[in-house]
Structure 1
Amino acid sequence: MIKKSILFITLFTVGLFSYGQNSDKAKALLDEVYNKVQSYDNIYIDFQSTLENTEADLKQETNGNVTLDGEKYLLNYFGAKQMYDGNKVYTVVPENEEVTIEDVNEDNDNVSPSKMLTFYKTGHNYQWDILQNVGGRKIQYVKLIPIDSNTEIKSVLLGVDTQTKHIYKLIQTGNNGTKTTITVNSFKTNQPISSTLFTFDEKKYEDKGYYIIRN
């Protein structure tokens, strides 16, 4: 019995040590990604997004793109446009001919465009996951488990290109079974951008007859 107890304790200790090493490896890789992102003046990402929920028989696919400059962003997604100028979020929906102007919701569990490449820095436990070969590129996955048990997000898988240290894929799984997958098709940095790219022209939409909603 004593020998079995010693064996169990040894295996348990080795398991904890291995888990700690994997967690440290995962964090170290994400630190490299973070430092790489922070080194760019701006980033342009063209992506494909899939939203799935098997129980609800839901599957939506779309392409989009986003330009990131610090906290500011311009997102084109599902035929709509969303912009954050550092002060307000502006969402333009041409189909409904309406514009929504609102403050940033810091309590929102969803990953906002401005946080898409840096949200993992805090609030998560990290696990080293699988390595995939995608067209000759080595994509290392890291699993993120939110520390806050009240969040609507169950886990996030981040696929990192081990050579460029850029995020290639994000797979977010919600507690309700909804899975959101974002795959990066193109990742460009330090692009020439207009000084008015993140300036919202409200009059332009008023002249078009758009309904302006202020929250």
Structure 2
Amino acid sequence: MKRIFALLFAMVLFINLASAQQDPQATKILNAMSAKYKTMKAFKATFSQTMESSSAKSKETVEGNILVSGPKYRLAVSGQEVISDGKLMWTYLKDVNEVTITESDPEAEAMSPSKIFDMYKKGYKYAYTGPEKGADGVTYDVIEMAPQDRNNPIFKVRLYINQKDKSLKSWKMFRNNGNRYTYTIKNFQANPTLAADTFSFNKARYKGVSVVDLR
């Protein structure tokens, strides 16, 4: 789970961020980005997640997809499905055909995919670092955020926001252990049609599944 949400800074820049007040330009961009997604009842996206380890000198990329509606989400990546209705969480492991049911953990949920568009509003300092043209030829506004809590295992988050339509293209999370996670949104669909049981685990669809209830 933590590896999926980790699903979210050069030292000099980090020091400047930690001591600075909120950057008004960054606030304006972040508010516009957040407002864009707030207008959607739900969204669906495919994405790639790349994990780079400085200690192991390795790089691994996996593909995934996600559905989000308010605090609810359904995430599938690397043989694992994570479903949350905001109160309960189901974690399904395909290779062992097992689902674990737990109550939602507020700490883990703070870094959940449904919160990435609002995470800047509490517990972070941030600054606009300038525009950057991506490999796709699109210009992105780059914003770096640093958590106010020095015990946070993530010491920097870098967001790439489309300068034209304010959509979030990708984000990088830098962890204290040297690992770096990059999430890139690929296909995006606003307000998809959702089944009634989208954000719950339907046991009937997983023949022979073993259920571990830890509530």
After TM superposition, the score normalised by the length of structure 1 is 0.84
Where does the alignment leave 5 or more consecutive residues of structure 1 unmatched? Answer: 1-14
Question: 1:156, 1:110 → 2: CA distance?
Answer: 14
Q: Taking structure 1 as reference, are residues 39 and 109 closer, same or farther at Cα in structure 2, changes over 3 Å only?
A: closer
Map 1:37-186 onto structure 2 (within 5 A). Answer: 37-108=37-108, 111-134=111-134, 135-186=136-187
Q: Deviations over 1:86-145 (max 9, x none)?
A: 321111111111101111111238721221222222110011113211223111110000
Question: 1:154, 1:143 → 2: CA distance?
Answer: 10
Question: 1:52, 1:125 → 2: CA distance?
Answer: 25
Between structure 1 and structure 2, the one with the greater Rg is: 1
Asked if structure 2 preserves the Cα contact closer than 8 Å seen for 1:101 and 1:213, the reply is yes
Question: 1:93, 1:117 → 2: CA distance?
Answer: 27
Q: Secondary structure at the match of 1:195?
A: coil
Counterpart in the other structure of 1:213: 212
Name which structure has the greater RCO, CA cutoff 8 Å, separation 6+: 2
Superposition deviation, residue 160 in structure 1: 0.3
Asked if structure 2 preserves the Cα contact closer than 8 Å seen for 1:109 and 1:151, the reply is no
Superposition deviation, residue 166 in structure 1: 0.9
CA RMSD, Structure 1 to Structure 2 (Å): 1.9
Using the aligned pairs only, state the percent identity: 26
Q: How many residues align?
A: 195
Where does the alignment leave 5 or more consecutive residues of structure 2 unmatched? Answer: 1-15
Bigger Cα displacement from structure 2, 116-125 vs 92-101: 116-125
Question: 1:77, 1:165 → 2: CA distance?
Answer: 26
Question: 1:58, 1:106 → 2: CA distance?
Answer: 31
Superposition deviation, residue 195 in structure 1: 2.1
Superposition deviation, residue 148 in structure 1: 0.8
Counterpart in the other structure of 2:13: none
Counterpart in the other structure of 2:4: none
Q: Secondary structure at the match of 1:89?
A: strand
After TM superposition, the score normalised by the length of structure 2 is 0.84
